[in-house]
Chains A and B, each alone.
Chain A
């Protein structure tokens, strides 16, 4: 009886030694991994901070404004570029309206701008009529239309949109400055 108990105890002791050793090595491994992850998180955090700072520098309003004027022919939003929904419905072009959600071709905006129409006329034309319900009562709700080209001269400039197509081109240009 005693021999059996001794044997069992010895076995348990040996097993616990092995278990302890296994847990210890495991702990060491996990600690090293945790440390490494911590280092990586830290490094990633630093990288994110650097990128955010860089992003902030690249999206400075004065830079975006300059690029938008140079490459897209945009200008600051003018009060005349706001229109009421009701007006848009009243001025809908009849059958040539594009499909819902389709974007109006740029050339058309430019043509109407070039004709020197009044600002509000330009907006009405540039807005797809079929996206609006036909029977909408003349609403006083204000709607916001994307900025139209600044001037006919800028709008007609052919090279600008092509250059704008490559973001890297803009960056390279920025660097060269």
Chain B
């Protein structure tokens, strides 16, 4: 047992050494652990907070947060506001009868029998009762203190201008999903954000080219003209003749975008267009955008297109004279001009007297191929896609015969949208540039594409001007504003023919004609009486749409910043 002294001393030294090593190891471990913890703390402190996505077994409906829509001067046309929506958790409801007894007087429109079945099913944990409530209604329900009822804020789209801009701005469904016009464009092109709560979109607002004041003037005058003439519907626009930007785009009757199912104005109810092939146009009356989404045979307002095509291709010269005294017959169909129109007419006379035989002769001179090529270049036979929606394909007669070339000369047989006609007319007067009509302000317009020679356009401007000075469009004259334009009175096509009792009267014009800045279009559907006070007898375009255009220009031009040219003779 006895060890040598030096051995014992040696053991003692080794023990001390081991002990110190253990202590050192322990200290190192502790330091490393704390260091690690500190490092983690720093990392968490500095790191970006990860986005927490919530997974929930509850069936939450997904809405959309949409950017605001403003007019060209920044006035709000559509915005999202948060509104409380009421839902129930059937598992927490104590007495379904009590809940229904309290809620039924507040929501008389809810089908409570079906609702009771849903509320009785305790396996369901989420049942919508009413969405988009007013704050005071929500407060009243909250005050009832019924267990199992709760609120969730949801975004709801509001349209301050209401029916005034409905056909242009469009509307959304209960989940804020775009369902018409610019709202669809927002959904599909500009982009919206999915929203689980009532957080508004952070996207910049979308500016339209529309001017709310001008829109109001056009809508107001169209509506007044509808009442005065007994027309069933109306459409109108003011478009920038150089860019195609729409400052006003109106189709009446309109609808309340907050309750899109109900037509707002019943004055034209039931007027289902036989021409309207677009699916949108087949629905209830107030929901039809007659300006951009329905096609019509518009009549004489197409004549300028034919005259321009004939001039531009060199089929006639500006000095040509056309004899319209004889009847014109093709495929057993004969047309004649009334005696006050017929004669050896210059192109200007064909325009200002609106001679059917003259325009038909020009069309026949051109021939089917060149006529259709010109129509296609001017965009009236294609399909126009704008932010207002996908326009219908223009309708052409099939098969195309000689008689169709003849009637197309004065605007029958070819059905197109009024918006396409306005865009084509803009090309006639703006120096011959094709343009893309649009309502959403954009910085990337396609480069101007020339479709007519500038000389043709200058000649046409002269005709448009002469027509208001002394032709069929005299009632569109506005002192100081130098308006030009063309009238068109078309019989409405019915199954197997035309109805002489039902007409579409239109006036496509521009001002100031020296250097046209704005194109106007006014269309009245089935007017019964003239609008002009001095006119008696039939309600054709010269007594309805022409004076209507004068009223629109008189009020809208000052708002568009165009001061009248001073005329000593003006009253």
Contacts and interface: CB of A to CB of B under 8 A. Distances in A.
A146 B364 CA distance: 54
A92 B161 CA distance: 43
A114 to B, nearest CB: 19
Nearest to B49: A31
Interface string B196-236: 00111000000000001101110010000000000000000
A27 B557 contact: no
A42 interface: yes
Q: Which of A56, A60, A79 has the most CB of B within 10 A?
A: A79
A77 interface: yes
Contacts of B480: 79, 82
B158 A53 contact: yes
Contacts of A42: 199
Interface in B209-265: 212-213, 215-217, 220
Given A62-B216, A79-B481, A55 B199 contact: no
Contacts of A54: 160
B558 A53 contact: no
Nearest to A27: B45
Contacts of A59: 75, 160
Contact of B200 (A46, A57, A80, A82): A46
- Listed residue (A56, A76, A77, A81) with the most chain B CB atoms within 10 angstroms of its CB: A56
B76 A53 contact: yes
Contacts, number: 77
A79 B81 contact: no
A78 B554 contact: yes
A75 to B, nearest CB: 10
Contacts of A105: none
Contacts of B554: 76, 78-79
Contacts of A65: 216, 220
B164 A53 contact: no
Interface in B515-571: 554-555, 557-559, 563-564, 566, 570-571
A60 B571 CA distance: 32
A61 interface: yes
Given A27-B45, A46-B200, A79-B481, A61 B212 contact: yes
A142 B161 CA distance: 32
B478 interface: yes
Contact of B160 (A45, A56, A79, A84): A56
A45 B200 contact: yes
A43 B80 CA distance: 13
Given A46-B200, A53-B158, A82-B558, A60 B164 contact: yes
Contact of B563 (A53, A57, A62, A82): A82
A52 interface: yes
Contacts of B566: 84
B162 A60 contact: yes
A62 B164 contact: yes
B555 A53 contact: no
A77 B82 contact: no
A60 B45 CA distance: 51
B478 to A, nearest CB: 7
A144 B478 CA distance: 18
A49 B81 contact: yes
Contact of B79 (A27, A49, A144): A49
A61 B81 CA distance: 22
B381 to A, nearest CB: 36
Nearest to B162: A60
Contacts of A50: 81-82
Contact of B82 (A46, A57, A76, A82): A46
Contacts of B563: 82, 142, 144
Interface of B: 38, 41, 45, 75-77, 79-82, 158, 160-162, 164, 198-200, 212-213, 215-217, 220, 478-481, 554-555, 557-559, 563-564, 566, 570-571
- Nearest 5 A-B pairs (CB), nearest first? A56-B160, A61-B216, A142-B563, A79-B564, A56-B76
Given A55-B160, A59-B75, A60-B160, 18 more contacts: A20-B38, A20-B41, A49-B79, A53-B79, A56-B160, A57-B160, A61-B164, A62-B220, A76-B217, A77-B559, A79-B479, A79-B557, A79-B558, A81-B558, A82-B558, A82-B563, A142-B563, A144-B563
